[in-house]
Structure 1
């Protein structure tokens, strides 16, 4: 099988899976409509970008449609950026200001209008044959490379902040899904890095390397889409959003420094701490795998802001770790109980509020230095 036939096969499979997954995301009944729609759009845009080998099969020469199709690459990362925002924050809504993300796409097409879109076929051919000397193409490739770097950095910054907010306010298993989203973004970063290198070689003395990287990019795109399809089908409830109005503890502390009236005195902290510990030991709210700091705040009548400072700052523990400590202590009591020797580790982790074996093992080893199985054997 020659390279061209392999390229067509990879392209067709990639397009089929991308559009199938996009259709699934757009039609499935879920409360996360915005996130699903944005990711479906991202898949469609990537499919359009990767369809070049198939597109060229039906086009006899350069065309406005072909160039316009290529410019859709400017929309991929802005849509992915909005998707990450919608996944991370439950209160995300698309707003008119988000149309600003269209600017690179619009600019790239506008500068091509005088010497490509509005000229005859012969001029288009000449334009592409002399691509290395065409300032418009050089500008567009520089622009998309800069866009890739800027959006990738922006996405990682969003994920970094979302993780801190999650650890300070939530105790469920969404951290596992968050870690997957980090992995997915990391793989995409590698894919776009290949695209940047490909663009560099396209305007060098080694255009053949650019074509080779294009093939690697198409194969990697197919693998990424297949991976996401597997994850989407095996984990339909992937990731739990956080409230974007939540403040990081470091920002709350900064507010206290600037406005002393907001500060809580040590006596109040001591009283709140006693109330919190009594509540945790008597009511055992940690048995709820989806417990949030808002739930605790409501039950013990301490404002979320003060409670967040108490746990995340005064106790120097994230809320996530604070709750897991009680879960692990409860699990240790069960493991010590000789009458419950036949209760499996899996049953115990569900009983104490975990619903992920990996997160339970990680938290247990962090707290005791041993895995649950090792701890039970050592008793």
Structure 2
């Protein structure tokens, strides 16, 4: 019996010794399990006094200084220990060092740090490394996808300037792509998709040329030449000499760059982009101001569109200047930092709004006929897909063609020809004339012809012309039709008008 008890005591002693030895060979990993082949141990909640914690910390620091242990393991143990001691600033310091050394951003969210989860320093750290979603990032995501959709729609317009629409669609597309990249930065997803590094930077020097050639196209009707490809040289140089070496790096190397803030050429690219924006912004402003001075004929809503784009681009250059200064100063957050992104988002939304509310800017929309509702009264245009805003826009365009272009002077003008000038259908043109002028096509044209004829008859030059000459001048093909129409609107013939009101 005595021997049996003695054997039991020896067995228990052996288990104790074995456990003691194993505790120095194994240690807890980041997920609370035991890791093998480490020389330092950590036991959560294993110490009662601050002196005991400090003793362990000194042991970790000494081993780090003497290179006796893996630095990653030491950073981890120090982060855990300071968290147990409720020292958030020191814990955060070693969490940060561990993340940068291991490229494991998820470590910042380890359950061992629940003791310091309410501290400001720890919340700032998790805000920097862990995935997150807020209203600002959702807004950027929304605008990015809207921009992609509109960029496609702009190229599907009928009877439009395909080149101008392509330039504007690319302009919107690049902005949208950049905004989506910003969304990845705001949500910290760039750490989980490290190949996104510099993904939108390739297009940095294209914003200026695109908007510049868009204005040259819509204002000067510019036709592209081979020499214009020189505007792509800065972009090619950027990609070949600065970005390709970065693109060919592994995901781990890119992640380390992002975590340690060693992303190359950031300030250089930002400064050159600012210079590009300023140069092309000046060229756009020059084209726009010249068009105003030359008093070129343009519809009011087109003039407003061009003016607003110029304003957007000018303000964007100012906000990007502030952004560039912050980048050089290594300030990557705050209202001023995000201001240029917000303005870019507003620009995308404005183009999107214009594309659907004022479609004539980019070409006509295809009219979609809707089925009449039973409750609505049956009218002549009940099946028309012409919206109120598009109706007002087409009316303004028609007035411009009548008052400025004086298309009624063309003796072969037809409803089809007028519809083509307005970039719409015959049905829409007829509806606009009926609803806004209470006339049909021929009545409207003849009314303007008669008013023009009256002005010519009252002028000093009328004495040099016969009445038939005036009839031909305003668009009539013969004197009979002219006299008949003139009398219809004035109750007297042209000859009687001359005797009564001119002579």
Fold conserved between structures, TM > 0.5: yes
| Residue number among 405, 412, 430 corresponding to 1:291 in the alignment | 405
**1:100: which partner in 2?**
230
Task: Please say which structure displays the higher CA radius of gyration.
Answer: 2
Distance (whole Å) between structure 2 residues aligned to residue 59 and residue 38 of structure 1: 29
8 Å CA contact 1:15–1:47 kept in 2: the answer is: yes
Aligned to 2:140: 11
The match for 2:324 is 199
Q: Deviations 1:62-117 (Å, cap 9, x if unpaired)?
A: 74553132222321221111111111123x22332222222222222233257633
Partner of 2:217: 86
Q: Residues 142-161 of structure 1: matches in 2 within 5 Å?
A: 142-161=271-290
Matched, 1:27 2:152: no
Q: 1:114 to 1:290 in 2, by over 3 A?
A: closer
The alpha-carbon distance between structure 1 residues 59 and 222, as it changes in their structure 2 partners (threshold 3 A), is closer
- Structure 2 residue matching 1:198: 3-state secondary structure: helix
Where relative contact order (Cα < 8 A, 6+ residues apart) is larger, the structure is 1
Q: Is the 8 A contact 2:155 2:169 kept in 1?
A: yes
Distance 1:13 1:114 in 2: 30
From 206, 224, 230, the equivalent of 2:353 is: 230
Following superposition of structure 1 onto structure 2, how do residues 158-169 of structure 1 map, counting pairs within 5 Å?
158-167=287-296
**1:111 aligns to 2:226 (yes or no):** no
Taking the aligned partners of 1:45 and 1:231, their CA distance within structure 2 comes to 18
How far is 1:287 from its partner? 8.7
- Per-residue CA deviations over 1:149-197 (Å, capped at 9, x if unaligned) read 1011010011122223344xx4xx5255224312221122212321221
8 Å contact from structure 1 (residues 7, 53) kept in 2: no
Query: How far apart are the structure 2 equivalents of 1:231 and 1:121?
Result: 41
Contact 1:48 1:72 in 2 (8 A): no
Q: Deviations over 1:213-262 (max 9, x none)?
A: 3433333333333323333333322399xxxxxxxxxxxxxxxxxxxxxx
Change in 2 beyond 3 A, CA 1:233/1:201: same
1: CA distance between counterparts of 2:239 and 2:147? 26
Equivalent in the alignment of 1:310: none
8 Å CA contact 1:14, 1:221 repeated in 2: no
Preserved CA contact (<8 Å) 1:85 1:158: yes
For 2:218, what is the secondary structure of its paired residue? helix
- Cα gap change, 1:23/1:120 in structure 2, threshold over 3 Å: closer, same or farther? closer
TM-aligned CA distance change 1:131 to 1:60, over 3 Å: closer
Aligned pair in 2 of structure 1 residues 75, 202: CA closer, same or farther (>3 Å)? Answer: same
Give TM-score, length-normalised by structure 2: 0.43
Q: For 1:282-313, what per-residue CA distance to the aligned partner results, in whole angstroms no more than 9, with x for missing partners?
A: xxxx9932428xx99xxxxxxxxxxxxxxxxx
Is 1:76 aligned to residue 199 of structure 2?
A: no
Structure 1 stretches lacking a partner, 5+ long: 241-285, 297-325, 334-379
Partner Cα separation in structure 2 for residue 195 and residue 42 of structure 1: 16
The alignment of Structure 1 onto Structure 2 pairs a total of residues equal to: 246
| Alignment equivalent of 1:141, drawn from 256, 270, 280 | 270
Give, in whole Å, the separation in 2 of the partners of 1:4 and 1:203. Answer: 27
Residues 132 and 203 of structure 1 are in contact (CA less than 8 Å); yes or no, is this contact kept in structure 2?
no
**Aligned-CA RMSD value:** 3.7
State the alpha-carbon separation in 2 of the partners of residues 120 and 13 from structure 1.
Answer: 30
Q: Distance in 2 between matches of 1:229 and 1:95?
A: 29
Superposition deviation, residue 55 in structure 1 = 3.8
Change (3 A) 1:4 1:213: farther
Query: In the alignment, is the contact (CA less than 8 A) between 2:277 and 2:317 conserved in 1?
Result: yes
Corresponding residue for 2:40?
none
Which residue is equivalent to 2:437? none
Secondary structure of 1:208's aligned partner: coil
**Paired residues of 2:191 and 2:255 also in contact (CA < 8 A):** no
